[in-house]
Amino acid sequence: MRKFLAFICFVLSVPAARAQVWTPLGPPGGDARVLAADPQNLSRVFLGTADGHIFGSQDSGAHWILLGRASSRIDAVITAIVVDPRNSNVLLASSWARNSADGGGVFRSSDGGRTWAGAGLGGQSVRVLAMAPSDSSVLVAGTLDGVYLSRDASKTWQRISPEHHPELQNFDSLAIDPRDPQTIYAGTFHLPWKTTNGGRTWNPVHAGMIDDSDVMSLLIDGRDPQRIFASACSGIYRSDDRAAQWRKIQGIPYAARRTYAIAQDPREPDRVYAATSEGLWKTEDGGLNWRRTTSDSLVVNSVIVTEGSPGRVLIGADGSGVLASNDGGEHFQETNAGFNHRQILALGWDARPPGRLLAVLAQSSDAVLVSSDEGRTWSPLGSGLPAEPVLRAYAAPDGAWWAPLARGGLIRYQAGSDSWARAGSGSSPSKGTGRPPRKAVPGPNSLAVTVVDMAFSSNQSYAATNEGLFVSKDLGASWARQPLGPLASMPVQAVRASADGLRIRVVSQRGLVFSDDGGKNWRWHDLPLESGGAMSLAVAEDSGSILLAMARNGLYISRDFGATWERAAAGLPAATVLAFAANGPVFAAAMQTGGLYISGDSGRTWDRVSGAVSDARFTSVQSSAEPGVFFVASELDGVYRVQWPGRGAEDSNQAKPVASEPSTALGFHPETLPR
């Protein structure tokens, strides 16, 4: 344990400029794509994600640490991890790219997964990678255009399937005979094939299978290599004669039509597990009878059996991360300590009470999580959340949370009732009670359009929508359109407001529009033409003199109330700004190109924050009450606390949170939402 804690400290300590520090805060869990165990030490396991990251555990998944990134691409889906039994510090991983047809390959690590380098097939979508059990120098990789073989531990590769063959393409699974590395089974998007001479000739082996079966996984029985399991979109099949004839195994309903992986308990060969899109299934008689041992709502991507008797079973799932069973797969519980890989859409911070943090999650049964201790622990927030996606979250001065919905409208959370209710139902909540409206019937002045941003003064709420700016004076029970001068329904992308409601700053489709008298009169401000147009706005000082516009081509700063603008160019790329926050003179900006940038001198110069997750795409940034500290949400890596001990943070008299015109937007513009 001491070694484990020491390594965590090493991973979290980032030797970068000004000694900034990343601290992972969770929420625990996320999408676990592939699991693998060290054959020489089954308690040592590895996990691959959908953005190239490799996590490791020394205690069968009880604790995880982020080791490194196999691929430099943030859209690299890890499809397989194999450990060399001769040297367990040597790992190989395969990947394909979500956003490109030529972004995958095979990668090799010689230090247990901390650093990686390309190991061949660069630019190929490598869907599967297998190592010969009898000779770890022999590797086979399946791509969209063929099967490739390496006989020298990935130093060189050669195609062993015919080029441009109409059937030998789109490979999804591979298995190598444990006694004869020349015998290879390969599953395609269509049907399975087999070679017994290292790829010189191939033969179809699909007798007994339903035609058009996407063979997603293959498993050769470790005790009897004549017995082979194959999972396909049409079900699970078993062959007892080296794939000469298949028969469909009964017991798993057709509804569990996608079985992503099959694993065998090495101590109990008749005990086999199937990871499906509708839970984990288990057989104890070699596949004659199956039963489901998890919820059918669990999408299980991977399953392995580690140490113990019965073997400890680990499954990697979408959203829930890693789950473990110590009773042979009968009962599971989440084991995600250190695995923080949630997809965060937006992050919210409320200094009342201190340390209150809110996270809006994508593709999760718990769409909104709250932490009251700055991210150390998380729990679902309230009841009554609708089934439709929540886009962002906003903290109001009265302590309530607001959340826009993807299909339009707003929901409001009140702590008194610990529940969410639709805003604009025709009657306002009782002040001070936290009770939602009695009737959830839309009123004549309700807000049904999609809200892309919100702001609050002491007695008014503002909603930016594609149909204009709306204002509510009764906690969202009714809304009225706020004209921007003569333009009443012009699309609005962002809004900021001072506490007294006099200063309103709006980003519209045509430019920046400011009012200093509560919306009675408006004046226009333009960014430079090369900006590509503003997307959002922030106010960085009490006086409101420093304004920051997040634009498509960079961050623009005005130090004279918006009269003139200049691009923040010293160290900051000319790219779309996804999120911004100011902590006194310390600014933080997340960029579309990836990475987090921090300035300690009010935006004059910038440094890119380095570290294990420095290449991540960050979706939300919030300022803490502590000088120089920000909370940062990544697209796939959860929430981090980032400390920047630069000159702005060291001066506690200067580094303070934004006061009179805070940036209340806890989300980001829809155009920057992850796809």
What gap in Å lies between CA 310 and CA 323, rounded to an integer? 16
Burial 497-525 (b: 16+ CB within 10 A, else e): bbeebebbbbbbeeebbbbbebbeebeeb
Per-residue pLDDT of 564-596, as tens digits, reads 999 998 899 989 999 999 998 999 999 988 889
Residue 232 binned pLDDT confidence (cut-offs 50, 70, 90): confident
For the chain, domain boundaries: 134-221, 342-429+440-672
DSSP 7: H
In tens, the pLDDT along 601-614 reads 999 999 999 876 77
Arithmetic mean of pLDDT, 72-90? 92
Could you tell me if 461 and 453 are in contact, meaning their C-beta atoms sit under 8 angstroms apart?
no
Residues whose CB falls within 8 Å of the CB of residue 180, separated by 6 or more in sequence, listed in order: 134, 196
Distance of CA 318 to CAs 328, 364, 637, Å? 21, 9, 14
Report the predicted TM-score, pTM, of the whole model to 2 decimal places. 0.77
DSSP one-letter code for 530: G
Tokens of 506: 């709006």
pLDDT, tens only, 34-52: 999 999 999 999 999 998 9
For residue 101, the model assigns a pLDDT of: 75
Tokens at residue 563, please? 């009269």
Strands 451-456 and 461-465: antiparallel
- Of 8-22, 177-191, 193-207, 607-621, the range with the lowest mean pLDDT is 8-22
Mean pLDDT, range 8-18, rounded to an integer: 39
| Tokens 């397989």 -> residue | 80
For residue 67, is pLDDT > 60? yes
pLDDT at 137 over 80: yes
Mean pLDDT of 357-370: 85
Nearest-angstrom CA–CA distance, 246 and 208:
5
What is the tens place of the pLDDT at every residue in 441-456?
344 456 889 999 999 9
Residue 257's pLDDT is 67
Q: Quick one: pLDDT at residue 428? A: 39
- Interacting residues of 17 by C-beta distance below 8 A, sequence separation 6+: 607, 610
The pLDDT value given to residue 255: 55
Least confident of 152-156, 227-231, 536-540: 536-540
Report whether 107 contacts 97 (CB < 8 A). no
How large is the average pLDDT for residues 109-131? 95
Predicted local confidence at residue 445, as pLDDT: 56
User: Assign residue 237 a region: left if phi > 0, alpha if psi is -120 to 50, beta otherwise?
Assistant: beta
Percent of the chain residues topping a pLDDT of 90: 54
Question: Which pair of structure tokens corresponds to residue 638?
Answer: 């959860």
Q: Is the pLDDT score of 658 beyond 60? A: no
Fold for 342-429+440-672, please state it: Methylamine Dehydrogenase; Chain H (2.130.10)
Residues 328-340, mean pLDDT to the nearest whole number: 94
Q: Which of the four pLDDT bands, split at 50, 70 and 90, describes residue 634? A: confident
- b/e per residue 120-151 (b: at least 16 CB within 10 A): bbeebbbbbbbbbbeebebbbbbbbbbbbbbb
Determine the pLDDT at residue 422: 86
CA distance 369 to 376: 12
pLDDT at 82: 97
Q: Which residue has the higher pLDDT, 23 or 446?
A: 23
Q: In which order are the strands placed within the sheet that holds 235-239?
A: 215-220, 228-232, 235-239, 247-248
Confidence grade of residue 219 (pLDDT, cut at 50, 70, 90): very high
- Which residues sit opposite 404 in a β-bridge? 410
Q: Give the per-residue pLDDT at 73.
A: 85
Q: Is pLDDT above 60 for 667?
A: no
